[in-house]
Amino acid sequence: MPADKKESGSRQVADFMIKLDHPLKNEIEEVRAIVASADPRLGEHIKWNAPSFFLGEEDRITFNLKGKGFFRLVFHCGAKAKAREGKQPLFEDTTGLLEWAAPDRAVVKLTDRNDVREKEDKLRRLVAKWLEATES
């Protein structure tokens, strides 16, 4: 990915986070750091009115900030569904964190600082596994 795209996306997210009025803003920042630390190739920008991590040209992990008392991380394969064989999830989730919405889309729900800290190591492993499973 071009360095300028990654840099402009980082500025875009920084501006978004400064303006964000969310009761779990600190926890959202923590989770952003966890996801970013899982793979240095990830870039970040704003997509669907929330921070979203991309690899190459495809979004892979996007925040959903619309819940009350929680927020979600949506694990997906980009904006457009890809044709896949089979109806099984992309991989077996050994972390137990994913709620599968479709074979190629899953969600992790986070509720507070303790929840984020309890899930941190599993979340980092899950991000790496998701990226491995969804790379073209």
Q: What is the CATH number of the domain that holds 92?
A: 3.90.1150
Structure tokens at 136: 């073209």
Quote the CA–CA distance of 98 and 75 in Å, as a whole number: 9
Structure tokens at 118: 């309890």
pLDDT 10s digit of each residue in the chain, 136 long? 455 556 678 899 999 999 999 999 999 999 999 999 999 999 999 999 999 999 988 999 999 999 889 999 999 987 555 555 567 777 888 999 999 998 889 999 999 999 999 999 999 999 999 999 888 5
Quote the CA–CA distance of 77 and 83 in Å, as a whole number: 11
DSSP letter (8 states) at residue 104: T
CB of 30 closer than 8 Å to CB of 17: no
Q: What's the pLDDT at 1?
A: 46
Domain that holds residue 99: 3-134
Q: Helix, strand or coil for residue 107? A: strand
Quote the CA–CA distance of 131 and 136 in Å, as a whole number: 10
**Number of domains forming the structure of the chain:** 1
Q: What's the pLDDT at 82?
A: 56
Quote the CA–CA distance of 22 and 86 in Å, as a whole number: 39
The structure's pTM equals 0.87
Q: What's the pLDDT at 77?
A: 85
